[in-house]
Amino acid sequence: MHFKARAGQKLADVLLQENLGKAKSKFVGMRAKAIVEVDDFEATREAGKVLRNRALDDLDLWLEQFEQQATRRGANVLWARDGTEICRLVIDIARRHGVKKVTKSKSMLSEEAGLNLALEAAGIQPVETDLGEYILQINDNEPPSHIIAPVFHKSKEEVSALFARTHQRPALTDIQALTREAREVLRPHFLSADMGISGGNFLVAETGSVALVTNEGNGRMVTTLPKVHVVITGVEKVIPTLEDLATLMRLLPRSATGQSISNYFSLLTGVKKPEESDGPEHLYFILVDNGRADMVGGEFAEMLRCIRCGACMNHCPVYQTVGGHAYGWVYPGPMGSILTPLFTGLENAIDLPQAATLCNQCGVVCPVKIPLPDLLRRLREKQMERRLRPLKEILALKIWAWVARHPGLYALGTRIAVRYLKWLAHDGVRNDRIRILGMATEWTRGRDFPAPEGRTFRELYAARKGQA
């Protein structure tokens, strides 16, 4: 099933629409307040763009630098081509250290790999510990609908019913009480897990470290208490220095949740010393390709700057209306509409590049200035080139392109069209709305088409010029 069909279902889902309505704009308002605390947010965005480009322009060298430093501090750096290899590596590590239970903080790469199911199949118990991810896991491994707020689509009533059923406790209605219940259920898991798995917001080449941004403290738990820590992250996440990290930390939390800084921000380097009472004895980095390496240096390379803040989806009118699940894979919203076709193949994400109005809200808020609408448009061009669009659409665009190259014909065509449309709008009462438009019946099923004035811009311009 494609985006269009799923989006239709989501629009008809009354409960989802109610939940999305409630969630709408909270992040937007908080971001707007938080960015003015930085004297020059625009300059900081530009600096973020420049430093991400610096890393990506010499990605191989920065990765080698990272690997060298991480290894020096006692970590093992492993590489994975795809999700299958991630699963194999993680299961190998778990078996090597006799691991029975794994606590996880949020990792989108683990979603890309379907890691939880693979761990279960290998007899290893994965426990998601981010509150949102935990809710999804106990709801039969439901996929997240937002990269930083996984249960963006759920109401507290749904969470309450799910907790009561899973925990065999009386149903609670208060969000604070629900959070406390999750804390009580998850605390013993934190203390008993043999291995922790985390994602990585950034890899710092200077020090061979991973930087983790969290609010709940679960990220700290899974990287402090178990004897083994596995970091799974994309190869594009490397940045040069701790100074660069400071710059990005002025951008990421503000763009994500509208916080000046996240509650916890950890820089983790190497393994614990024998005389330390906490910290992992074994640290593994799994650096993942899964489609990223082939984006390097290409026409979609700018997308690799992405720091996964979610601002593009928070500000996207399409995302806000259909929610994250309509996008069909791990990454929703504008960034997902670009990454999904690139990671899974354009032919497997047939109408995702169309799932945007190109209004550029996403481009304006992106903390590292990724021109998201331009990249979406480029994907649409690719679809045309590869004939992945309906024949009718390809034909219509070809005709349009031909007419547009013939100005006389274009002028005549538009003159006829605006008069025809104006005539269509007459229904005896009003004449400014078209109720049913033959060429776009689906569009006018939900709303009226505004009627044109009856004359083209060029006609009006010529007339005004005559007057003056």
Partner 1 sequence: MSSREDILGRVRAHLGRTESNATSGRAALDAYLKARPQGPRPRIGGDLVARFRAKSELLSSTVEDVATANEVPQAVARYLTAHRLSSQAVCWPGLAALPWGQAGMEVAARPATGSDLIGITGCFCALAETGTLMLCSSPDTPAAMSLLPETHIAIVPARRILAGMEDAWNLARAELGEVPRAVNFISGPSRTGDIEQTIVLGAHGPYRVHIVIVGGEG
Draw the binding track, 220-239, toward partner 1 (x: CB under 8 A; -: no contact).
xx-xxx---------x----
C-beta of 266 vs 344, nearer to partner 1 = 266
- Dihedral of alpha carbons 188, 189, 194, 196, sign: negative
Q: Does 262 bind partner 1 (CB under 8 A)?
A: yes
Task: For residue 73, give Cα distances in angstroms to 93, 103, 191, 207, 276.
Answer: 19, 24, 25, 9, 15
d(CA 94, CA 82): 19
Residue in 168, 176, 441, 467 binding partner 1, rule: CB under 8 A: 176
Of the pair 65, 125, the CB lying nearest partner 1 is at: 65
Contact pick of 142, 289, 448, 459 for partner 1 (by CB under 8 A) = 289
Least distance CB 166 / partner 1 (angstroms): 15
Q: For residues 180 and 186, what is the distance between their CA atoms, to the nearest angstrom?
A: 10
Residues 308, 348 contacting (CB under 8 angstroms): no
Among positions 7, 16, 23, 109, the unique one binding partner 1 when judged by CB under 8 A: 23
Name which of 19 and 337 has its Cβ closer to partner 1. Answer: 19
Task: Please identify, among the stretches 241-249, 319-327, 403-411, 449-457, the one whose residues bind partner 1 according to the rule CB under 8 A.
Answer: 241-249
Out of 91, 93, 94, 131, the residue judged to bind partner 1 by CB under 8 A: 131
- Applying CB under 8 A, the site for partner 1 has a residue count of 104
When asked if residue 128 is in the footprint of partner 1 (CB under 8 A), the reply is no
Subset of residues 39 to 78 that bind partner 1, contact rule: CB under 8 A: 39-40, 43-44, 47-48, 51, 54, 57-65, 78
What single-letter DSSP state applies at residue 268? E
| Residue 147 to residue 264: CA distance in whole angstroms | 18
Could you say whether residue 217 binds partner 1 (CB under 8 A)?
yes
End-to-end Cα separation, the chain, in angstroms: 57
> Which one, 42 or 453, has the nearer CB to partner 1?
42
Q: Residue 320: helix, strand or coil by DSSP?
A: helix
183 makes contact with partner 1 (CB under 8 A)? yes
Mutual angle of helices 175-192 and 131-138, in 10-degree steps: 90
Q: Which stretch binds partner 1 (CB under 8 A): 36-44, 352-360, 371-379, 384-392?
A: 36-44
For residue 361, the Cα-to-chain-centroid distance in whole angstroms is 15
φ/ψ of 241, rounded to 5, equals: -125, 170
Is 80 a binding residue for partner 1 by CB under 8 A? The answer is: yes
Smaller CB distance to partner 1: residue 123 or 188?
188
Bridge-based pairing state of the strands 101-104 and 195-198: parallel
Q: Which two tokens stand for residue 454?
A: 């009856």
> Which of the residues 195 through 214 are near partner 1 (CB under 8 A)?
205-207, 209
Asked if 324 and 313 count as a contact pair (C-beta separation under 8 A), the reply is yes
Using CB under 8 A as the criterion, what x/- string covers residues 405-434 for binding partner 1? ------------------------------
Residue 229 phi, psi (nearest 5):
-125, 125
Query: Per CB under 8 A, does 298 bind partner 1?
Result: yes
Question: Using CB under 8 A, which residues numbered 149 to 168 contact partner 1?
Answer: 149-152, 154-156, 159
* Segment lying near partner 1 (by CB under 8 A), choices 296-304, 339-347, 387-395, 436-444: 296-304
Between 207 and 337, name the residue whose CB sits nearer to partner 1: 207
The secondary element (H helix, E strand) that includes residue 204 is strand 202-204
Q: Which amino acid is at 189?
A: H
Stretch that binds partner 1, among 264-272, 410-418, 428-436, 452-460 (CB under 8 A): 264-272
Separation CA 212–CA 341 (nearest Å): 27
